[in-house]
Amino acid sequence: MILVSIINNFDNKKILLESRQLLSDGTMQPCCTPLSRRIKTRESAEDAAHRAIKEELGFLLKLEDKKEMVRIVPETYKKKEHQMISWSYPGLMSRYMIHTVNAHVMGLPDGNFSTEAEEFGDCSDELKAVVEKALRVKRRYWIWRRVEEGTSAAF
């Protein structure tokens, strides 16, 4: 798992957090977490961070090559192992490798904003019918939150 703390370009004491999610059944789910994604097999943490930013926020960025808009701060990279009950399978004790990094992303709004979750991507019609019935995220709400002095922006 990669957690990317995106630093506000106008106030470097603020980071971008996903405050809540609108689910397909109309309910709101609170979160208050930095942007995150699973790291793919043989994918570096930096590549995973770039992919996470592109998948979640890329449509907000103006350039064709999104990597030009993103600056990962390599000296903020950390890796920690956590053992806890599985997020996906309640009751199953699991081990998670959590990678964290800070990043600057040009072109993001200075204020709070929301993004639409990609519905189906390149799914077949048959798969779309199955996915349509599943509980899923429809919209993500993002806020800029001040980071306390002396704490890590990447949690």
Q: How far apart are the first and last CA of the chain?
A: 13
Instruction: Supply the pLDDT for residue 150.
Output: 46
Residue 135 lies in a domain: yes
Number of domains present in the structure of the chain: 1
Full residue range of the structural domain in which residue 88 is found: 2-146
This prediction's pTM:
0.80
Residue 39 has pLDDT above 50, yes or no: yes
Residue 35 lies in a domain: yes
Residue 8 lies in a domain: yes
CATH code, domain carrying 99: 3.90.79
Residue 154 lies in a domain: no
Residue 21 has pLDDT above 50, yes or no: yes
Q: Which residues contact 53 (CB under 8 A, 6 or more apart)?
A: 4, 6, 35, 66, 70, 103, 105
Residue 152 lies in a domain: no
Q: Can you tell me the mean pLDDT for 31-52? A: 94
In tens, the pLDDT along 91-118 reads 999 999 999 999 999 889 989 999 988 7
Residue 124 lies in a domain: yes
